[in-house]
């Protein structure tokens, strides 16, 4: 199999918490040596691309920020290309940076879309109700992911999925998913490499990254 590009998950593949995954750094160096382009795709909707890059750098990975694909950054491009640049953002302030730096204006009224990610403590009943009213006025709802929960150090935390389900039910509409596992998310990552889906491999475990690098 001739592999022209590799998409590599970050959490659980390059690191688990603050612990490096054994063999992952070696695999990335081997991909570089063989001239196989790759992008690191992050499932987080709570962190900006800059924050993800800084964390990887602290762990010892030399992955350029433009090589990291986050759901907020990918969503911003899709929203801008479809002319939906005025958005109500139900996200963390950090993730909001990826959207605003890519041409999206954060608004509380007259929104083209409501963007829902893992907002954590930034999500309040007031913000949720404001978003609901915008949906009733005709705004689209964009889900950066639809996971039910994720694991924090002290236990499970609600993710964006329950919030998306709530506004879908209340407004009687269906969300457009732009983050993982939407095909559009991975296609956006491949566009940055100039690769087609049939030429690429997606790797979500450290062992599989090593195997690709050894091809």
Based on the fold, state whether residues 143 and 77 are members of the same structural domain. Answer: yes
Residues facing 212 on adjacent strands: none
58-67 pLDDT tens trace: 999 989 999 9
Based on the fold, state whether residues 130 and 205 are members of the same structural domain. Answer: no
- Is residue 17 scored above 90 in pLDDT? no
Based on the fold, state whether residues 87 and 66 are members of the same structural domain. Answer: no
Task: Specify the higher pLDDT residue, 2 or 164.
Answer: 164
42-82 pLDDT tens trace: 878 999 999 999 999 999 998 999 999 999 999 999 999 99
The pLDDT-based confidence of 153 (bands split at 50, 70, 90) is low
Domain holding 206, by residue range, is 5-70+181-213
Residue 125: CATH number of its domain:
3.40.50.1000
Give every CB contact of residue 64 below 8 A, 6+ residues apart in sequence: 53
Based on the fold, state whether residues 14 and 110 are members of the same structural domain. Answer: no
Give every CB contact of residue 128 below 8 A, 6+ residues apart in sequence: 90, 163, 166, 167
Distance, in Å, from the CA atom of 113 to the CA atom of 85, rounded to the nearest integer, reads: 8
Domain count, the chain: 2
């Amino acid at each position: 199999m001739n592999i022209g590009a590799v998409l590599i998950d970050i959490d659980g593949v390059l690191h688990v918490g603050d612990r490096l995954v054994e063999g992952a750094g070696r695999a990335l160096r081997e991909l570089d040596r063989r001239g196989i382009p790759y992008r690191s795709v992050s499932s987080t909707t709570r962190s900006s691309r800059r924050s993800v890059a800084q964390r990887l750098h602290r762990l010892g990975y030399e992955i350029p920020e433009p090589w990291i694909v986050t759901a907020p950054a990918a969503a911003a491009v899709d929203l801008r290309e479809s002319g939906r640049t005025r958005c109500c953002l139900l996200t963390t302030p950090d993730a909001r940076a990826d959207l605003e730096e890519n041409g999206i204006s954060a608004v509380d009224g007259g929104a083209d879309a409501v963007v829902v990610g893992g907002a954590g403590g930034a999500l309040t009943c007031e913000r949720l109700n404001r978003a609901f009213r915008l949906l009733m006025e005709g705004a689209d709802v964009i889900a950066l992911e639809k996971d039910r929960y994720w694991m924090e150090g002290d236990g499970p935390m609600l993710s964006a999925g329950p919030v998306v389900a709530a506004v879908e039910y209340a407004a009687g509409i269906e969300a457009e998913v732009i983050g993982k596992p939407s095909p559009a998310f991975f296609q956006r990552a491949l566009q940055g490499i100039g690769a087609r889906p049939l030429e690429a491999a997606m790797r979500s475990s450290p062992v599989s990254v090593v195997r690709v690098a050894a091809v």
